[in-house]
Structure 1
């Protein structure tokens, strides 16, 4: 059961509260993948792990929820988007929107967004689409950079990013990129909070209507708390892209066989 899993994974602190029972529907298995940030290589490795796991349980309906932040920081944002937009994956996928995708879309509409985007990943993403990132400086003409970038990004990528939902629900789990605002029903959460919030969500002891599975705030290892599970393990830097496996009342990390 999920309590035993939490003990095995070593709680974040000695006084961490064991999670309440949370389930996905019988006959289903759900995989959740944390922030990818341009690491197409790690996404391919996780896809292989999921494919092997699915093959071992062929009777289960399998779904993979990706928690957003596919672009920026790592070297292969364009490749990640190409893979996901073509649905090249071993299971049905539900890709969610992260704040980095939102800022990329905002830049395509408003060149001045480059001031913000440039501080957390624009250079790597622009380079992944074949542009010379050395041209991007504070003295650059942002409109020219936006126009050149827009010519490099396939229309299918823009359509894919524009279509991404902000959350997804399966059974007792609520999946989103960043988290939720305490005190607000899950169905009334603001889109901005779902992709940007840190506090007051991260320090909240509130038992939400469902278990929140999120990324956005990187940690050295996955966090299993009584009201949320954080699976952002800074893949672009650590080389660890975390995948959570959920089946009925069981939650565990999907890792390579030793």
Structure 2
């Protein structure tokens, strides 16, 4: 029997390095090989954005694995604050202060460039991976980061999505990860006391996830 080709789509990390490491351990225990897609918002709000970025930039340490990272709106806010394209205070008030602390006040240029150059969406035969979502009422080629990184839909919403299944983060909820129709949301609010989640997909089969994996918040000992 041929081995399945699996994709693990990870929701918003937001600087939660311990949870990310735990989830990656869960993923590598689940399968001997596969692809991990990080759906953006690696940074801000949590305690160790720098550690998260450095871990993901370094890539997988085990043979048989590939990692792909998409950008989220928080990566865009950081780039805008650093380049002067948007307001610094806007980013700082949305978790940027915690990111600056993790970097001791200065984000290295190579990290900024890496985040700037991340793709915003991955469209495949059976699925669309994106940070926030897509607007199925418009042709996909008419859409850009304003939609891919910022759109929000009601929790019970699903569209047809051109015959594909959409997997995204961006909108946190304690009930996530969950699938509604043709849409799966894997933002379980790790940085807000929830879990860090990923959806598991069989690349050779259409439809939603075949499983979910989670890593709970680890509380410091008192």
Range of TM-score over shorter length: 0.7 to 0.9
Kindly state the Cα deviation for residue 204 of structure 1 after the two structures are TM-superposed: 4.7
Equivalenced residue count is: 205
SS of the residue aligned with 2:195?
A: coil
1:113 is matched with 87
Stretches (4+) displaced over 3 A: 201-205
SS of the residue aligned with 1:236?
A: helix
Pair 1:111–1:180, CA change in 2 (3 A): closer
Residue number among 185, 206, 218 corresponding to 2:139 in the alignment: 185
Higher strand proportion: 2
SS of the residue aligned with 1:180?
A: coil
Cα RMSD after superposing both structures? 2.1
1:184 and 1:111 mapped to 2: Cα distance?
A: 27
1:94 is matched with 68
* Structure having greater relative contact order (Cα 8 Å, sep ≥ 6): 1
TM-score by length of 1: 0.73
Higher helix proportion: 1
Kindly state the Cα deviation for residue 107 of structure 1 after the two structures are TM-superposed: 0.5
Q: Is the 8 A contact 1:35 1:67 kept in 2?
A: yes
TM-score by length of 2: 0.85
Pair 1:207–1:89, CA change in 2 (3 A): farther
1:154 is aligned to 2:108: yes
1:103 is matched with 77
1:222 is aligned to 2:196: no
Unaligned runs of 5+ in 2: 216-222
Unaligned runs of 5+ in 1: 1-25, 132-151
Kindly state the Cα deviation for residue 181 of structure 1 after the two structures are TM-superposed: 1.5
Kindly state the Cα deviation for residue 63 of structure 1 after the two structures are TM-superposed: 0.9
Q: Is the 8 A contact 1:37 1:70 kept in 2?
A: yes
Residue number among 208, 233, 252 corresponding to 2:161 in the alignment: 208
- Rg larger for: 1
Residue number among 35, 47, 58 corresponding to 1:75 in the alignment: 47
